[in-house]
Structure 1
């Protein structure tokens, strides 16, 4: 697909077929590509894209780009989708549309040391447009964008809008710190205040700390699970 327009400071590279934009973006980042590169694959049934960052802060703070990209996506769908479509964000990167699972965000970086400034960080987006099967009743907790009343949202327009809204939030994060992003994200967070299971730990999701680490209460103790736990391993 051609004609995708990105805002200033961003550029795009389209890939086709089975090529994974997230893996390609990580490879290009490791080779030294410019920050702001968006690698994307607009398939007939799935939008996949990945954005390259060159952080100037330690990884622990740079990981905020994961929830930031989620907020950017919610804002993009808020601008393009019907008003009754609700988008929520799981702490671990999962996306919810009208309560059901609908794609995910993932993240990788050049280092897993929270105190080191990474050479690069990549956030990937995967969003199904159509259900994988016509038998949607078999997976009632999973959905796709076009099954939720968003059939008029074109994939290229969604990608452009995600890039614009994400860039806007990057600018706000740089200028105003994490407070506005925290406020926006908290209003979209899935399962805040609820009992959840993360890995082999079950507890009450109390919220997040200043670096978006999950605060999980189990019994009489509260533990902080850092966002770096979500980093994809790089081979």
Structure 2
């Protein structure tokens, strides 16, 4: 029997059938006008899939910074539930890394694409594999799953509960203090910061600016890349 996850105040959960993507469900419900704070999730045992609906009161340029909040919430949740020797990092713009290998991702979408427009909704989704799909362990050395990293006592619903609590806490910090505090927490967890990267484009990842945009240096030029460019189109 599956135990329903407990969500913190201000957040409400709704399970979706396993053949339905919670992110797509969240987007369709957001378009229909569902309340902010709804979390749609699947009860599948092999992968955590969940999506949070937000109703920002800011421009999209500011609202999309909540993607970093969701990443921090996931990193703190894994840090609380995983064995202490398991490091969790980010790879800009949307990848989660556990013990140096890819282990999950973040998705996001809004009803506007203009950075200065005010979105009616923002959906942020997470996907974290607990069990590798068809392939044998070691077939894809750049990818991993939580069970391979020693998280055998963790369940998707426990991680969902923890993610919702940590994300809500950091959303409060974000709304109270702005992006600076989020940025300070996010920076040490990004293991490609200050390094040459190939994704999303070739260059030196210098850092993030005050609006959360990637600073990518190519020769003597530095360009900015916004998370908005990587939002899913709905």
For Structure 1 versus Structure 2, the TM-score category normalised by the shorter chain is over 0.9
Q: How many residues align?
A: 233
What is the CA distance between 1:42 and its match in structure 2? Answer: 2.4
Aligned 8 A contact 2:197 2:203 in 1:
yes
**What's 2:208 paired with?**
208
TM-score of the two chains, using structure 1 as the length reference: 0.97
Aligned 8 A contact 1:67 1:91 in 2:
no
**What's 1:222 paired with?**
222
Query: Aligned equivalents of 1:23 and 1:180: distance in 2?
Result: 30
Query: Aligned equivalents of 1:196 and 1:214: distance in 2?
Result: 12
Query: Aligned equivalents of 1:62 and 1:210: distance in 2?
Result: 13
TM-score of the two chains, using structure 2 as the length reference: 0.97
Tell me the alpha carbon deviations over residues 97-132 of structure 1, each in whole angstroms, 9 at most, x when there is no partner: 000001100100010010011000000000000111
**What's 1:106 paired with?**
107
**What's 1:184 paired with?**
185
**What's 1:139 paired with?**
140
Q: After the TM superposition, which residues 77-116 of structure 1 pair with which residues of structure 2 at under 5 Å, given as runs?
A: 77-116=78-117
What is the CA distance between 1:134 and its match in structure 2? Answer: 4.7
**What's 2:196 paired with?**
195
**What's 2:46 paired with?**
45
Aligned 8 A contact 2:45 2:155 in 1:
no
1:216 match: secondary structure = strand
Task: Let me know the Cα RMSD of the aligned residues.
Answer: 1.0
Q: Structure 2 stretches of 5 or more lacking a match?
A: none
Aligned 8 A contact 1:91 1:190 in 2:
no
Query: Aligned equivalents of 2:69 and 2:193: distance in 1?
Result: 17
Aligned 8 A contact 1:52 1:121 in 2:
yes
Whether 1:75 aligns to 2:66 is no
Aligned 8 A contact 1:64 1:212 in 2:
yes
Q: After the TM superposition, which residues 161-172 of structure 1 pair with which residues of structure 2 at under 5 Å, given as runs?
A: 161-172=162-173
Point out 4+ residue stretches in structure 1 off by more than 6 angstroms: none
Q: Structure 1 stretches of 5 or more lacking a match?
A: none
Aligned 8 A contact 1:51 1:122 in 2:
yes
